[in-house]
Amino acid sequence: MSARIFDGVAVANEIRAEVAPEVEAFRARVGRPPGLGVVLVGQNPASEMYVRGKLKAAGEAGLRADLERLPPTATLRELLEAVERLNHSEAHDGILVQSPLPAAMGPDAERRVFDTIRPEKDVDGFHPLNVGRLVQNRARLVACTPSGVIELLERSNIPIAGRRAVVVGRSDLVGKPMALLLLHRHATVTICHSRTPQLAAVTAEADILVAAIGRPAFVTPEFVKPGATVIDVGITSLTDRVSVERLFAPGSKRRETFDRRGSLTIGDVHPSVEEVAGALSPVPGGVGPLTIAMLMKNTVTAAQDRAG
C-alpha cells in the first residue's frame, strides 16, 4: 500500500484563485488594493526565502505588499516603531513581522511584537485577542499554517467530524491552534508533546495525525495507524549526508536533490510512513504553499473588515 499524496500546491492554487476576484472586488469598491506590510529584521537566509515567497504570492494575488528591512543590529524599540507605523498606515491592512527575531532583542521580543500589532491587522493570527476568539470559535484571523491544514483536509474530502485527531507539538503558532480548529470541526482531539510517555502508542490512535515538532523524520511507521491521514508540518533543512543516506535509498530523487544542492528539505515524518498512511501531506509541497495562500486570504479578510 502506498499513501495518497496530497498536492499542497494545487490546493493552494485553488484558494488563491478564489482570493483573486475578492481582491478585484475590493479594489473596485475601495479604490486601492488590500495592502500587506512585511517587516524583516536581519538577513537570516531561511527568513529571506520565506519573505520572498510571501511577497511574490502577494504580488500575484494583486495585493500591495511592502517590505521594510531593518538591520540585524536594530533594537526592539526600532522594530516596535516600524510596527506602529504600519498600525497607523491607511494603505496596510495586514502586518507580518518575520520570525525569528535576532536573539539580541531578548527572549520576549516576538511576544512584544505580536502584542503590538493591531488585532485587526494581525494576519498571522498571533495576537492574544485573535487567539482568544479562536478558542471561542469566532475568529476572523487565524494562524496561517493550522488553518491551511484544515483547508487541505477539507478540500481533500478527509472527514474530520467524529474522528480521532492527534496533534504532536503544542506550540502557540501551530500545535494549540491546530487542536482548536480540529475540535471545532468535531474531532476528538489529543495533544501530545515532549513530555508524553509512549508517544507512538498515543499517535497510533489517530485517524488524523498532525506532526508539528520540528524533529526531522521523527514520526516513523509505528506511530501511524494503517490508513490514517498524516499531515507533516515540520520543515528542516538537512545538510548532513549521513542522515540523508539513512533516510533515502541510493538513486532516489531525494538523494539526487541532495547531491545537487547540498541540502534537503524534509519534514517530521519519516519517508517510510508513506507505506502505512492512507494519505500524506508531503514536505516540501504540502502545508508550506497553503500557509502562504492563507496569508493572502487573511490579508483580504483584514482589508474587507477594515473597509467595513
* Residues sharing a CB contact under 8 Å with residue 19, sequence separation 6 or more, in sequence order: 61, 293, 296, 297, 300
Question: What pairs with residue 280 in β-bridges?
Answer: 5, 230
Active-site annotation holds for 98: yes
Considering only 57-65, 66-74, 174-182, 213-221, which stretch makes contact with a second copy by CB under 8 A? 174-182
Please tell me whether residue 132 binds a second copy under the rule CB under 8 A.
yes
Among 129, 155, 221, 243, binds a second copy (CB under 8 A): 129
Q: How far is it, in rounded angstroms, from Cα 147 to Cα 234?
A: 15
- For residue 260 the three cell numbers come to 545537487
Q: What is the radius of gyration, based on Cα positions, of the chain?
A: 20
- According to DSSP, the residues that pair with 13 across neighbouring strands are none
Beta-strand (E) ranges in 49-103?
64-70, 94-97
- Which one, of 293, 174, 280, 269, lies nearest residue 228 by Cα? 280
C-alpha distance from residue 24 to each of 18, 60, 120, 182, 280 (Å): 11, 12, 21, 32, 34
What angle do helix axes 109-116 and 76-88 make, rounded to 10 degrees?
Answer: 20
C-beta of 172: minimal distance to a second copy in Å? 5
| Residue 114 cell numbers, joined | 505580536
Q: Which is nearer to a second copy, 100 or 132 (CB)?
A: 132
CB of 163 to a second copy, least distance (A): 9
161 binds a second copy (CB under 8 A): yes
Q: Is residue 196 a contact residue for a second copy (CB under 8 A)?
A: yes
Positive or negative, the CA dihedral 48, 49, 52, 54 is negative
Nearer to a second copy, 69 or 186 (CB): 186
Catalytic position from the list 54, 121, 176, 225: 54
Q: Is 61 in the site for a second copy (CB under 8 A)?
A: no
Least distance from a second copy to the Cβ atom of residue 269, Å: 20
67 touches a second copy by CB under 8 A: no
Taking the complex as a whole, the smallest distance from the CB of residue 19 to a second copy amounts, in Å, to 26
Considering the complex, state which of residue 133 and residue 255 has its C-beta at the smaller distance from a second copy: 133
- Contact status: 195 vs a second copy (CB under 8 A): yes
Q: Which stretch binds a second copy (CB under 8 A): 42-50, 60-68, 122-130, 291-299?
A: 122-130
Q: Which of 184, 235, 190 is nearest to 208 (CA)?
A: 190
* Binding status of residue 211 toward a second copy by CB under 8 A: no
Q: How many angstroms separate the CA atoms of 143 and 131, rounded?
A: 9
54 is catalytic: yes
133 binds a second copy (CB under 8 A): yes
One of 10, 46, 91, 135 touching a second copy (CB under 8 A) = 135
From the list 192, 244, 283, 300, which residue makes contact with a second copy (rule: CB under 8 A)?
Answer: 192
CA–CA separation, 128 vs 260, rounded Å?
43
Q: Just list the catalytic residues.
A: 54, 98, 124
The residues binding a second copy (CB under 8 A) are 111, 127-136, 138, 161-162, 164, 170, 172, 176-177, 179-180, 183, 186, 188-193, 195-197, 202
